[in-house]
Amino acid sequence: MSEGNQLTVAPSFAALYADRSGRLRTPLADVLARYEFCEDLASHLVEQAQILYHREAPSEAGVLLGMLAALRADDTLLSAIEADWVVQRLAELLEWRCPQLPEPDSDSVK
C-alpha cells in the first residue's frame, strides 16, 4: 500500500477502519500495522486450532467460538472487531465454515 511496503491490506480488514464511503478513518500506516499483526495472529493460531479440534473440541465451530472468546477477553491486544476478523480469517485458513459470531459487548468495542 506504500512504496516501502509491499503488503496489501485485505479489503475486509480495511473495511474495519473505513467510513461509509470507503475512506480510511485511521492513518494508513496504523491500519497496515494492525493488519499485519492480525494476519500473523490468525496464521499463528492455525496449528493451535487444529490441535484443539482433534483433542478437545466437539466441532470446528466450537474451536472458532472458543478462540473468539479468548481473543475478546483482553481488549488491550485486539478490538472486538479485530478479534472477529482474526477468527473469520482463521476459518478461511483452516478451510472451515465460520459460525455466526455473537455480537461483542458494547463495553468491549474500542
Res. 7 pLDDT band, cuts 50 70 90: confident
Q: Is 40 among the domain residues?
A: yes
Handedness of CA 46, 50, 55, 56 (dihedral sign): positive
How far apart (Å, rounded) are the C-alpha atoms in residues 7 and 33?
10
Res. 1 pLDDT band, cuts 50 70 90: very low
How far apart (Å, rounded) are the C-alpha atoms in residues 65 and 34?
22
Q: Is 42 among the domain residues?
A: yes
DSSP H or E stretch at residue 28:
helix 28-55
Q: Is 63 among the domain residues?
A: yes
Name the residue type at position 41. L
Percent above pLDDT 70 for the chain: 89
**Residues 69-92, mean pLDDT to the nearest whole number:** 95
Q: What is the pTM of this model?
A: 0.87
Q: Is 105 among the domain residues?
A: no
**Residues 33-56, mean pLDDT to the nearest whole number:** 96
Q: Is 91 among the domain residues?
A: yes
Dihedral through CA 88, CA 91, CA 93, CA 94, nearest 10? 170
Name residue, grid cell 466450537. Answer: 62
Q: Is residue 19's pLDDT more than 90?
A: yes
**Residues 79-83, mean pLDDT to the nearest whole number:** 96
Q: Is 1 among the domain residues?
A: no
33 φ/ψ sector (left φ>0, alpha ψ -120 to 50, else beta)? alpha
Total structural domains in the chain? 1
Res. 104 pLDDT band, cuts 50 70 90: confident
| Range(s) of the domain holding residue 68 | 11-96
